[in-house]
Amino acid sequence: MNNAVLTNISRFLLLLFIQGLILKRLSLGWEGIVYVNVMIYPLFILLMPLRTPRPVILLSAFALGIGVDLFYGTLGLHTSATVLTAYARSYVLAFMEPREGYNVNYSPTKARMGAPWFLRYASIMMGIHLIAYFSIDAFSPQFFFSIVIKALYTFLFSLFFIIIIMQLFNPTD
């Protein structure tokens, strides 16, 4: 196995266990309703190498989603949002492709693509993930404002943690 595969397997396991063992307990809300869930596990999908085939990304997202669902006891909720995020990844990357194109040998990280580019990319991807997650959770347009509020608060806190992780670890692969 090459270094990129080992790095991604380690990232997969680390994000899964941090999400399931630590961040699951970090939920904020008021009046008995949880409005903030910190979700960093989609970072695995965001940081996969550009040359990774779509089926591998989708299967990895499925495995990650099932793993998080097992920790949360919500079989299918995280899986469906994570697979949708993985599916949308190639379209978002194509939309955001720089004029000179991508170097497909690397991952789309802050170190490789620059902080502004990565912040836009992470924002779009997390927005897709969180809107899907809370829409599937509510499963009714009746809760539109609740979905938007939960997604917005979770987006802000999750993106804050993702930025901190990217600053601390600064992955280049």
Q: Where are the domains of the chain?
A: 3-169
Report the C-alpha gap between 139 and 132 in whole angstroms: 10
pLDDT per residue as tens, the chain (173 positions): 578 788 888 999 999 999 998 888 777 655 556 667 889 999 999 999 988 999 999 999 999 999 999 999 988 999 999 999 999 999 999 999 888 888 777 888 888 888 899 999 999 999 999 999 999 988 777 888 888 888 998 999 999 999 998 888 876 65
What architecture is domain 3-169?
Orthogonal Bundle (1.10)
pTM over 0.85: yes
